[in-house]
Amino acid sequence: MNKAFTRETDVEEEEGAEPGFLRPPPGTRNYITPGGYGRIRDELDFLLKTERPRVVDVVQWAASNGDRSENGDYLYGNKRLREIDRRIRFLTKRLDIAEIVDPAKRLENLDHVFFGATVTVGEEGGKENRYQIVGIDETDPARNRISWISPLAGALIKAREGDIVRFRSPSGWREIEVLEVKYIPIKP
């Protein structure tokens, strides 16, 4: 087979996904917090009700100007419409398979780390960090929101306050101590 018709990598990117997109492991659900679900729903509503109609108006106006082959507004507008439609399809699929889990409504095993927990950990040198374990669609390293399928979250799941967990990070094996486990609503 000609190399022109094969992919460079075996990793299949989902259409409309952000760079670094993660998929849930096979056979698992796409867990998401109510706040994460709301953010995705808001983006979808914005694209459907505001952005797409605005771009359609620009494309219609540009098409009415005549020669479309050299009309930058028309060409760019059509490209932007394809991007918006791709993103709409992606977000719709993500919402269809999402299973909302509200950490604030957790009633049992509040001393264990599970999905939705806010965990304070002690690291080497006395440094403390706080992480929220969230769904793959709401991961945000800048806000210390880590995906439940990440190596750190995988090591923390089922741990209790006072436990020391060991996990493999990109820089090698690390040990951290679980200092506090809370279940609070995760805000947008």
Residue extents of the structural domains in the chain = 29-100, 103-182
24-36 per-position pLDDT tens digit: 777 777 899 998 9
In the chain, which stretches have pLDDT less than 70?
1-22, 106-107, 185-188
> How does pLDDT run across 113-150, given as a tens digit for each residue?
999 899 999 988 889 999 999 999 999 889 999 999 99
Q: Domain 29-100, CATH 1.20.1090.10 — does that match? A: no
> What CATH number has the domain spanning 103-182?
3.10.50.30
CB 44 within 8 A of CB 92: yes
Q: Which two tokens stand for residue 137?
A: 């669609």
Token pair listed for 52: 């797409």
Nearest CA-CA partner of 180 in 116, 124, 113, 135 = 113
Report the mean per-residue pLDDT for the chain. Answer: 84
Residue 91: enclosing H or E segment and its boundaries?
A: helix 72-97
84 three-class SS: helix
Q: What 3-state DSSP class applies to 99?
A: strand
Q: Could you identify the residue written with the tokens 């992480």?
A: 131
Q: Which residue has the tokens 């799941």?
A: 157
Looking at the DSSP assignment, which residues form a beta bridge with residue 140? 145
pLDDT at 125: 80
